[in-house]
Chain A
Amino acid sequence: MNPTNYLVLSIILFSIGAAGVLIRRNALVAFMSVELMLNAGNLAFVTFARMHGNLDGQIVAFFVMVVAAAEVVVGLAIIVTIFRTRRSASVDDASLLKL
């Protein structure tokens, strides 16, 4: 099968994720959209690794997953902290750059 199909799927998922970040104002949904964009990038990495017969793409995808896990931990902690003080998970309410 032509590996370009995977690239097209990756583009579609990345764009949907970008739209989610820009449109949704629930902090959790926006954050999940970021995860979707990271996943789309990973799919492109894996596809390129197979396309060119080079394993480095898979290694990079692996590191992206690890960094995404660290990012989720800190991001969710920030969302919980903001929710505690403001009783809201909307990104509009956290506009003062302080708690």
Chain B
Amino acid sequence: MGEAALFWIMAPIAVLGALGLVFSRKAVHGALSLAATMISLALFYIAQEAPFLGVVQIVVYTGAIMMLFLFVIMLIGIDSSDSRVETIRGQRVAATLAVTGVVLLLAGVTIRATLPEEPAGLAQATPDGNVPAIADAIFGTYVWAFEVVAALLITAAVGAMTLTHRERIVAKATQRELSIKRFSEGAPGDAAGLPVPGVYARHNAVDTPALLPDGTPSEDSVNRVLVARGAARSTDEFRHHPTPADIEAAAEGDADEPAGEPGPDDDASGGERA
């Protein structure tokens, strides 16, 4: 009874997750709905007297494989989505027909097969419990397959490293060479390196430009990738705009200090006010 309740609650979730994978436009949404499907499958394994496989399903599939997929999605670009245009004419119709064929084939096999109404259960096959019986089988009957699979995993790891490895064509420039290059061809102002991004009371992120001692924001302090993506905040937002009260206060306060020229503290408050 409990198993039936579990099945009829989790099976629709599994199917919805699978449909979400196929019909979501963004790969991230597809990955998350597939993770939901895999978790419900893990519950089915546990309900079907396979607690070891259920745990492995959660650890390996939802824990490792799906997170690997998410990492690659982030690497490739989180908003990479399909175009809706069909490149091969009639591909979707043909695919639908083929899938209907698969469904009919599998359903026909299942209907025609003589399947028991009640499962035999694993109580006789696993007298000491599920995990000892699986350990017996893996390290006994299937020990050769186990060794081969170990070799396969090592090969896969080496293969992935080989595939993603990039050979360096020219030697990496040392710090000394970079310094000489900056002095020889750059402006003298560049020799000390670029300023770091700004830190303010409300913004200390890499997308906010630093304010130079004279109160002007430095556009060089923001990563140019962020600028190219349009993710950087406008430097205008952090420019110090002296109000008439500021000018009066500066004029009354110190005659040596030019009016409207802010000190370092004014810079911070100016950015904060903006």
Question: What is A's interface to B at a CB cutoff of 8 Å?
Answer: 1-9, 11-20, 22-26, 28-29, 31-33, 35-36, 39, 42-43, 46-47, 49-56, 58-59, 61-63, 65-74, 76-81, 83, 89-90, 92
Contact = CB atoms under 8 A, between A and B. Distances in A.
A-B complex: 8 closest residue pairs judged by Cβ atoms? A53-B120, A22-B95, A70-B156, A77-B160, A77-B163, A20-B22, A16-B18, A11-B106
B80 A62 contact: no
A33 to B, nearest CB: 6
B7 interface: yes
Given A50-B122, A55-B137, A74-B163, A39 B21 contact: no
B137 A47 contact: no
B133 A55 contact: yes
Contact of B134 (A17, A24, A43, A62): A62
Contacts of B72: 28, 76, 79-80
Contacts of A16: 15, 18-19, 21-22
B152 interface: yes
A1 B126 contact: no
A1 B123 CA distance: 17
B106 A14 contact: yes
Interface of B: 3-4, 7, 11, 14-15, 18-19, 21-22, 27, 30-31, 34, 37-38, 41, 44-45, 48-50, 52-53, 56-57, 60-61, 64-65, 68-69, 72-73, 75-77, 80-83, 87, 91-92, 94-96, 98-99, 102-103, 106-107, 110, 115-126, 130, 133-134, 137-138, 141-142, 145, 149, 152-153, 155-157, 159-160, 163-164
A50 B18 contact: no
A63 B149 contact: yes
A33 B30 CA distance: 9
A19 B95 contact: yes
Given A54-B125, A73-B157, A80-B76, A3 B119 contact: yes
A7 B110 contact: yes
Given A1-B4, A33-B21, A81-B164, A50 B99 contact: no
A50 B106 CA distance: 20
